[in-house]
Every structure is written in C-alpha cells, then in structure tokens.
Amino acid sequence: MEQAAMNAPALRRGARGIAMAILQSALIQAGENLPRSTKKTGVPDGDYGEETRQAVFFVSAVEEG
C-alpha cells in the first residue's frame, strides 16, 4: 500500500506475474474487455501490455471522474 501510494515501483509495460493477472481479473470484473490478454488460455496472462495499460488508464480516469 505504501509502495503503491508512492507509486514505487510504478506499473511498467512488460511487467508480468500473478499480481498483474489479479489486476487484469479485477479490470475484467470492472467491465473492461481484455481479449488479447486472455487469448492464449482464456484467463488473464499476467502481462502488462498495451491493452491492460489502456484499461488501467480508462478505469483510473472514470474513478477520478
């Protein structure tokens, strides 16, 4: 939480892992479509690519109003 508040380390393209997959799942549950990120196995791939980045920015913008 402290790290996230300080944005350190920031989300970076190419980051991958279980935490990223959980974030992608949260984005999907929030109504975002991530067809490229779920194409391989039907579940989020855990890669912070362009599609996920755009979804993060979109959800952030909506939440900030």
Partner 1 sequence: MPAVVAEANRPAVFVMARQFATSRRVLLAACVLIGFAACKSKGSQGTRQVQETLESVGKEVGLVFPAGSRLMGVHRERGADDLIAVKVEMPAAAWTGFVATTPIDRALFRPGERGLLGPDDGFWDPHKSKNLHTAETPLPHARVLNLGYDDSRGSVISVYIVNHGT
Position 14 contacts partner 1 (CB under 8 A): no
Q: Which of 14, 35, 41, 61 binds partner 1 (CB under 8 A)?
A: 41
Position 34 contacts partner 1 (CB under 8 A): no
Position 9 contacts partner 1 (CB under 8 A): yes
Residue 24's nearest CA partner among 39, 10, 45 is 45
CA separation (Å) from 11 to 20, 26, 32, 42, 63? Answer: 9, 15, 18, 23, 18
Give the binding site for partner 1 (CB under 8 A): 1, 3-4, 7-11, 15, 17-22, 24-26, 28-29, 41, 43-46
